[in-house]
């Protein structure tokens, strides 16, 4: 008999923690999992899944208008926020149930409570119960960062935005990253007046400059207002419940809701990690090696709490690699090269590999191919919005090292194209592929 209560104790039932738990259990490990909020984590409960459902809902605003050009007699339609909100939350409930069922099917013991680490091989539940485990995995994810300023308590984050009682008529969004731009598109399509306020001068830092400039141009055309180099001073709550947002270098803005989307930080506070010698970086991320092992040999971490790449599929890969390596006898290391990403803005962005600037700095000699076009659907609908596809090629080897796209269904197209970039295919390989016509994706094999 083992001297421990469990072979593995996982803290955090998000995408990485759930994957690690069920795979470890499938390898025969005795696994326990603690989650203080809801099974499913940020992505399922208050992140990418409910957000994508809101994105789908927002698209109908333009689709219903465009349908008239395609012969459909569509009357003026009224949007019901409460109905969409409740339907989305019901779907979240359904998915949470499925995640719980998966854990149960794999005989993972689930503790629906907070757990903290009190020793290299011991955790303590909120009720005081202490449990021993040969290994502990931290998979607590990230948490929205809210800068401290007067009145910051009147702002909401992406945690609360899915639960708004009413649709705000005026929304101020703080930040310039993917969460800020995604919710700007959502609220704008729902009819809210949206203002993005950014303390810097760039949106979507890390994405290709031409692509992010195109999103800025289209967003402004759609009516979204941007204020750059305008840090928050304060938020003042008025007698009627509205908010006045005071900014540096700008006039005050009146709003009904303020959404702070200023990035996410590793959710490691209060877990007892530093007290037992687990090394954290300056942002609170758990430092781990390529085997996901921390400075304490019995403690591992995966997902956003390590702050490597904050993407759900990456957390899942890390959880799988950890379980296979430690409990399955299959040493696995996650490859972080050419990880595709998307911004579900209006229109959406898909990207994989190096940007033009990164490629020039790293490779020196590159070739850049672009296609700037109007999607066929937009032409007939009378919508002037243009898509932009961009391919970065290593001039010395002809290898495609980056693909960047903005336009309808860009993430759906990019996923398949990312396989080609990951496989190291060349521009000639793309050229030799017959186009699928008529489609937007064919632009990728017609670039000249």
Query: Distance between CA 346 and CA 224 in Å, rounded?
Result: 11
Tokens representing residue 202 in the block:
């760039």
Tokens representing residue 373 in the block:
């076009």
Half-sphere exposure of 406 (CA within 13 A, CB side): 22
Local structure of residue 70 (DSSP, 8 states) = G
User: Are the CB atoms for 41 and 13 separated by under 8 Å?
Assistant: yes
Task: Say whether 394 counts as a known binding-site residue.
Answer: no
Judged by DSSP in three states, 63 sits in helix
Task: Say whether 177 counts as a known binding-site residue.
Answer: yes
Task: Say whether 182 counts as a known binding-site residue.
Answer: yes
Query: Distance between CA 338 and CA 421 in Å, rounded?
Result: 7
Residue by residue, what is the 3-state secondary structure of 197-245?
A: ECCCCCCCCCCCHHHHHHHHHHHHHCCCEEECCCCEEEEEECCCCCEEE
Local structure of residue 387 (DSSP, 8 states) = E
Choosing from 154, 163, 404, 437, the catalytic residue is: 437
Tokens representing residue 164 in the block:
């708004």
Cα 307 to Cα 141, 218, 228, 377, 442, distances in angstroms: 9, 31, 27, 40, 36
Residue 154 a catalytic site member = no
Task: Say whether 176 counts as a known binding-site residue.
Answer: yes
User: Are the CB atoms for 186 and 206 separated by under 8 Å?
Assistant: no
Local structure of residue 156 (DSSP, 8 states) = B
Task: Say whether 181 counts as a known binding-site residue.
Answer: yes
> CB neighbours (10 Å) of residue 369?
17
Tokens representing residue 146 in the block:
């809210």
Local structure of residue 274 (DSSP, 8 states) = G
Which residue from 280, 32, 322 is spatially nearest to 314, judged by alpha carbons?
Answer: 322
Tokens 């007699």 locate to: 73
Task: Say whether 263 counts as a known binding-site residue.
Answer: yes
User: Are the CB atoms for 386 and 376 separated by under 8 Å?
Assistant: no
Query: Distance between CA 334 and CA 352 in Å, rounded?
Result: 17
Task: Say whether 179 counts as a known binding-site residue.
Answer: yes
Task: Say whether 37 counts as a known binding-site residue.
Answer: no
- What secondary structure does DSSP assign to 320-368, as a single string? HHHHHHHHSS-------TT--EEE--SS-EEEEE--HHHHHHHHS-EEE
Judged by DSSP in three states, 59 sits in helix
Task: Say whether 175 counts as a known binding-site residue.
Answer: yes
Binding residues for FAD: 52, 304
Binding residues for NAD(+): 175-182, 263
Active site residues: 437
């Amino acid at each position: 008999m083992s001297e421990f209560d469990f072979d593995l104790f996982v803290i955090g039932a998000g995408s990485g923690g759930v994957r690690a738990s069920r795979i470890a259990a499938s390898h025969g490990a005795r696994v326990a999992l603690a989650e203080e909020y809801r099974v499913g984590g940020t992505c399922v409960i208050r992140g990418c899944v409910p957000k994508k459902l809101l994105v789908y809902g927002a698209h109908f605003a333009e689709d219903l208008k465009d349908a008239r050009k395609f012969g459909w007699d569509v009357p003026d339609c009224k949007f019901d926020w409460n109905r969409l909100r409740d339907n989305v939350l019901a779907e979240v409930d359904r998915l949470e149930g499925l995640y719980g069922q998966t854990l149960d099917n794999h005989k993972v013991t689930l503790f629906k409570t907070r757990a903290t680490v009190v020793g290299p091989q011991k955790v303590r539940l909120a009720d005081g119960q202490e449990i021993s485990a040969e290994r502990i995995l931290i998979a607590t994810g990230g948490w929205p960062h809210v800068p401290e300023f007067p009145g910051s308590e009147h702002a909401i984050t992406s945690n609360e935005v899915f639960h708004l009682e009413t649709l705000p008529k005026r929304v101020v969004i703080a930040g310039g990253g993917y969460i800020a731009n995604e919710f700007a598109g959502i609220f704008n399509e729902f009819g809210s007046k949206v203002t993005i306020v950014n303390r810097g001068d760039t949106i979507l830092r890390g994405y290709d400059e031409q692509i992010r400039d195109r999103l800025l141009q289209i967003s402004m055309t759609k009516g979204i207002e941007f204020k750059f180099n305008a840090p928050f001073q304060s938020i003042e709550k008025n007698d009627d419940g509205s908010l006045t947002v005071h900014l540096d270098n700008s006039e005050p803005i009146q709003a009904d809701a303020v959404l702070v989307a200023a990035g996410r930080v590793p959710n490691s506070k209060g877990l007892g990690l530093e007290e037992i010698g687990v090394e954290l970086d300056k942002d609170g991320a758990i430092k781990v090696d390529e085997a996901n092992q921390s400075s304490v040999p019995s403690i591992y971490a995966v997902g956003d709490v390590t702050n490597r790449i904050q993407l759900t599929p990456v957390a899942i890969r890390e959880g799988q690699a950890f379980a296979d390596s430690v409990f399955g006898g299959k040493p696995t290391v996650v490859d972080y090269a050419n990880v595709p990403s998307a911004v579900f803005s209006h229109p959406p962005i898909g990207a994989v590999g190096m940007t033009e600037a990164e490629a020039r700095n790293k490779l020196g000699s590159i070739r850049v191919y672009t296609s700037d076009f109007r999607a066929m659907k937009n032409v007939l609908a009378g919508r002037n919005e243009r898509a932009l596809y961009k391919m970065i090629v290593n001039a010395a080897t002809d290898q495609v090292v980056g693909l960047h796209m903005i336009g309808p269904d860009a993430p759906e197209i990019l996923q398949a194209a990312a396989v080609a970039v990951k496989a190291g295919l060349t521009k000639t390989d793309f050229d030799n592929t017959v186009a699928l016509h008529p489609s937007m994706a064919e632009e990728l094999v017609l670039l000249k």
